[in-house]
Structure 1
Amino acid sequence: MATATVAAFATGVLPGGGAPAPEAASTPGSSGSAVPARSATEIGTAFLADYVQQGGDDAGRVVRRDQGDDTVSEGQAYGMLVAAALGDEKSFASIWTWTKTNLQRSDGLMAWQWKDGAVVDPMPASDADVDMAHALVMAGATFDHPSWTTAGETLAGHIIDDLTAQTPDGRILLPGPWAQGDGPWSYNASYAAPSSFQALAKATGDDRWSQLLAGTRTVTTKILDSSALPSDWSQVAADGSVTPLPGPTGSSGTVQYGYDAGRVAIRFAQSCQPADTAIAARLAGPLADKDPLPMQLDLGGTALNRDQSPLGYVARAAARASGSDRAGAQADLAAADRLAQSTPTYYGAAWDALGALSLQTDAMGSCPLLKGE
């Protein structure tokens, strides 16, 4: 593992994990000022306007304005997904051009972090690369741009070759090259994206993506059979057992449902397969009866602090929608957007947009559980 990556883990800002350190949490202020209700399209458009550099040499760079103005591959992927979903070809082209110019490594994967004109952490993060490959395939079809489709298929090939492992539970997505080996394997349940795996299986014709989907379901089910909520990080052992970890390597941190694991329900709810939405629905119960909803919980659902994030509400919306609680899901999406507007952060705004677009519209190629509401 690269020294830079170890240092990043120690600070709580994980390569590709998308998790802001606790001090970056989207805890609302006390102003109480009213904010307007927005449609999914308006939320997505605002994310691109607020966080994507619009001109100059860095046009297309997604800037984490609340985290030192750096850029991570995850943010570029989120921007590409949102732009493709909105049908914004100009923004998509700009974001992808900046990404491949500044983050693409010699092996075809993407460096994780860029700041002040240079890559500062070259380690790839698999969640970002999967989202990016899916976005490229989406954009290729949406905009009739074959070169983007080809780029997505090529990136998918690098991911399946270099960032997956065959385990007793099936094929799983590794968080990065540092996790390769004969086991045990570090695992982040929120990196797995069933709808993306399905799209990339169809685009590439590579059956390993279908194997990855099956392995993902097996491991995630084991995680939820052992605890009410998934942990940010887990370990898949050589015998197929799965245990929660306090961090990527298990050496420090707190076992928790937090800024990583909050994405699990959303990613599984995006799938068109009942097996996946059933997994998302399992999270509704442990997240119920919390108002306000803390972002960081222990695996039984007890709050670890009072911090909130739009991600937390979008996650509960996804779980509720998967379990047919449409009214509760809509209320949570509205709460997420109010929080995103009252206390804006890059990560909160990104998941506010991705959640609304995937749950309320079919623009992301998913099966929107709340379309038309």
Structure 2
Amino acid sequence: MGSRALVRWLLSGVLLLAVVVGLVVLVRDDGAGAVAPAPVPDGSAQPWSARQAGRAFLDGYVDPDGRVVRRDQDGDTVSEGQAYAMLVAAALDDRGTFDRVWGWARDHLSRPDGTLSWRWQDGRVVDDASAADADLDAARALVVAGRRWEDPALTSAGSTLGTAVLDVETVPTGLGRVLTAGSWATQDPWAVNPSYASPAAVRVLAAAAPDPRWAELDAGSRAMLAVLLDAAALPPDWAQVHGSGRVEATSGAAGRGGEGVRYSYDATRMPLRYAESCDPADVALAARLAGPLSRTSGHEAVRDLGGTPLGDVPSVVAAAAEAAAAAAAGDADRARAQLAAADQLQQQSPTYYGGAWDALGRLLLTDPVLGGCPPLEG
């Protein structure tokens, strides 16, 4: 072989190796050959539509069997993720994905009391306690899907799951009925996560299967959040409610662990859930966060309850939360700018949680298909 031919042969080999390495980096094989979203270079990201954001989440994190994989978090699965994908698939009119995701959750996470175990990994449930937000979201998704595809079986499954939420994950208090953190929160004071409450989900489920406890839960959740926002500018990730109705912010679930009382990746969901409510009183609570969240422009997810950032790491869900608060306050231009920022952050550094809330942020704020009253036009 001549020297020039040898050089060409060596260069071809190097290029082939580079392509193979690149594919290995982009394809994260979790047993089903699923392809995670590839990062987009800084400066080239473009705003997504709700459908584009939704497809990116479903295509990037749902395996062919319907398991939603947290590819950036040890490849485990949580009931929250299954519920998020069900909501997105129902909104996008993707019956195939919806059926697979719900089927996987039903077959692998169902508990005897009708709720869902919250965490699965390495072929088995590793924590069989329930998470109330996931159950409420999944029940809502089932009812929405049943209505959209005229399938009474889905509506019935959603109503049954909703009743389990009322039976297992709510308690009456001096403030009214509140949503506890899950099946494990069984003692007074009850552990609660303010971002778990979803007025729109309650509305959807109450319409499908009337039960006076839904109205009690709606009023109690609003009252609890109002108490927390009267005490601080931002809601905490975790709190506890006493039977008397006394509410206090806590560090971590049930006051254990955590990194101090703060507003972070859990609490950021609260303005999104309340901004889409059809009750003006709920929207007003979301609007109260607009001022504290607009003091900085770095989309920091971790803040003290006064709104001061406790770090400079930007977050997709933080940007979506800022959009929700702005929309609730009537600032549509700022809201759309924050949604675009969420898109850019997710495209540049894709994550499971960011992908879920990039999609859900747009859907909850702009599209009534999930049964809420979005504050922005699609």
SS at match of 1:244: strand
Aligned to 1:217: 222
SS at match of 1:264: helix
By how many angstroms is 1:164 displaced?
A: 0.5
SS at match of 2:307: coil
User: Which of these residues, 36, 48, 52, is aligned with residue 46 of structure 2?
Assistant: 36
Distance 1:238 1:49 in 2: 44
Aligned to 2:183: 177
Q: In the alignment, is the contact (CA less than 8 A) between 1:134 and 1:199 conserved in 2?
A: yes
Aligned to 1:18: none
Aligned to 2:155: 149
Measured against aligned partners, the alpha-carbon deviations of 1:122-144 in whole angstroms (never above 9, x if no partner) come to 11101000000000000000011
Q: What's the TM-score once normalised by structure 2's chain length?
A: 0.88
Structure 2 residue 332 is the aligned partner of structure 1 residue 322:
no
Structure 2 residue 256 is the aligned partner of structure 1 residue 251:
yes
Q: In the alignment, is the contact (CA less than 8 A) between 1:229 and 1:299 conserved in 2?
A: yes
Q: In the alignment, is the contact (CA less than 8 A) between 1:165 and 1:180 conserved in 2?
A: no
Distance 2:83 2:285 in 1: 24
Aligned to 1:241: 246
Map 1:163-174; keep pairs closer than 5 Å.
163-174=169-180
RMSD in angstroms over aligned alpha carbons? 1.3
Distance 1:315 1:39 in 2: 17
Distance 2:152 2:345 in 1: 39
Measured against aligned partners, the alpha-carbon deviations of 1:43-62 in whole angstroms (never above 9, x if no partner) come to 111111111112xxxx1111
Aligned to 1:282: 288
Unpaired segments of 5 or more residues in structure 1? Answer: 1-28
Aligned to 2:63: 53
Q: In the alignment, is the contact (CA less than 8 A) between 1:184 and 1:236 conserved in 2?
A: yes
Distance 1:109 1:340 in 2: 31
SS at match of 1:112: strand
User: Which of these residues, 93, 105, 128, is aligned with residue 111 of structure 2?
Assistant: 105
* Pair 1:115–1:290, CA change in 2 (3 A): same
By how many angstroms is 1:251 displaced?
A: 2.8
SS at match of 1:177: coil
Distance 1:280 1:211 in 2: 20
Distance 1:166 1:289 in 2: 37
Rg larger for: 2
Aligned to 1:5: none
Distance 1:244 1:256 in 2: 9
Aligned to 2:72: 66
By how many angstroms is 1:30 displaced?
A: 11
Measured against aligned partners, the alpha-carbon deviations of 1:316-344 in whole angstroms (never above 9, x if no partner) come to 10011011000000000000010011000
Distance 2:183 2:75 in 1: 26
Structure 2 residue 283 is the aligned partner of structure 1 residue 268:
no
Aligned to 2:210: 205
Q: What's the TM-score once normalised by structure 1's chain length?
A: 0.89
Measured against aligned partners, the alpha-carbon deviations of 1:272-316 in whole angstroms (never above 9, x if no partner) come to 110110111001011013121211000001111112211001101
By how many angstroms is 1:96 displaced?
A: 0.6
- Structure 1 stretches of 4+ moved >2 Å: 29-33
Distance 1:117 1:30 in 2: 32
Equivalences, count: 339
User: Which of these residues, 219, 231, 235, is aligned with residue 236 of structure 2?
Assistant: 231
Q: In the alignment, is the contact (CA less than 8 A) between 2:276 and 2:374 conserved in 1?
A: yes
Distance 2:222 2:72 in 1: 34
Distance 2:111 2:255 in 1: 28
SS at match of 1:123: strand
By how many angstroms is 1:239 displaced?
A: 2.7
Distance 1:237 1:228 in 2: 22
Distance 1:238 1:268 in 2: 24
Distance 1:146 1:227 in 2: 44
Q: Which has the higher contact order (CA 8 A, sep 6+)?
A: 1
Aligned to 1:26: none
Distance 1:72 1:286 in 2: 31
For 1:260, the aligned partner's letter is: D
For 1:32, the aligned partner's letter is: D
Q: In the alignment, is the contact (CA less than 8 A) between 1:362 and 1:371 conserved in 2?
A: no
Distance 1:46 1:251 in 2: 35
Aligned to 2:15: none
Distance 1:36 1:287 in 2: 24
For 2:247, the aligned partner's letter is: V
By how many angstroms is 1:240 displaced?
A: 1.7
Q: In the alignment, is the contact (CA less than 8 A) between 2:46 and 2:343 conserved in 1?
A: no
User: Which of these residues, 87, 90, 93, is aligned with residue 99 of structure 2?
Assistant: 93
Identity value in percent: 49
Q: In the alignment, is the contact (CA less than 8 A) between 2:159 and 2:209 conserved in 1?
A: yes
